[in-house]
Amino acid sequence: MSGTRPRIGVLALQGDVREHLAALTGAGAQASAVRRPTELDRVDGLVIPGGESTTMSKLLGIFELFEPLRERLAEGMPAYGSCAGMILLASRILDTRPDARHLDALDITVRRNAFGRQVESFETDLDVEHITDDGPSMRAVFIRAPWVEKVGADVEVLARVPGGPAAERIVAVRQGNVLATSFHPEVTGDRRVHAHFVDMVRR
C-alpha cells in the first residue's frame, strides 16, 4: 500500500469499469484496471463491477484470473462487488446456470435478476449503515439486480429496500473485508460507497 492512497483495482472484463475507476480516484485511491494475474498481484483491494455474472465467471477463467482471485480473497484481500459483483462474491446463488462458478467470499444466498428484467430497473433512496449515517439517504440505481435471500451469522446487513413490492429485501452487506451492493453507486456521482471501501482497504 502506498501511503494513504491504497492501490485498488477494478476487474475490467465487463461493466462500468471507467465509472468505478473515476469514483475510486475521487475517493482517494490509486485506481487501475485488472485483466491479468500480474495486475491483480499489484493491488491492495479489488472492485468487481456489474455485468452478466455467468459470462464474467467464464471470462475469469479465460483470463486465468479465477483461481488467483479466489486465493487472494481467501487470504483476506478487501473486495467490493456491485450487482453481478455481489453474485460472484456469494457462496450460494439461486436461478443461475449449472456451469456458473462463484468466489465464495460472502456467506450469503443471492437470487439473480431478483427485481426483474431490464425494463423493470428502478431507483430508490436508501439508508446504508456506516455510509449514510452522517448524511442524506443515497439514491440507489437497480438494473437487473440481485437481492440477498439469506445471510450467515458473520454477515452484517447494511441496507434493505424501504418500500414497494420488494420491501425489506437485503441489498447491501458486509462480511469482514468484503462489501457488496445490489445497486450501482458508480452511476450516480455519489462516492460514499467507494469512499467507504477505500477506507476499508486503507485500514
Annotated binding-site positions for L-glutamine: 51-53, 112, 143-144
19, 20, 102, 184: which one is catalytic?
184
In the residue annotation, 196 being an active-site residue is answered as no
Residue 25 CA to residue 6 CA, distance in Å, equals 10
20, 186, 194, 196: which one is catalytic?
186
Residue 5 CA to residue 15 CA, distance in Å, equals 24
In the residue annotation, 102 being an active-site residue is answered as no
In the residue annotation, 184 being an active-site residue is answered as yes
Residue 137 CA to residue 132 CA, distance in Å, equals 6
The three cell numbers of residue 89 are 462474491
Go through 44-64 and write b for each residue having 16 or more CB atoms within 10 A of its CB, e for each that does not.
bbbbbbbbbbbebbbbbeebe
83, 102, 194, 196: which one is catalytic?
83
State the CB neighbour count (10 A cutoff) for residue 156.
13
Residue 190 CA to residue 19 CA, distance in Å, equals 11
CB 139 within 8 A of CB 127: no
> Catalytic site residues?
83, 184, 186
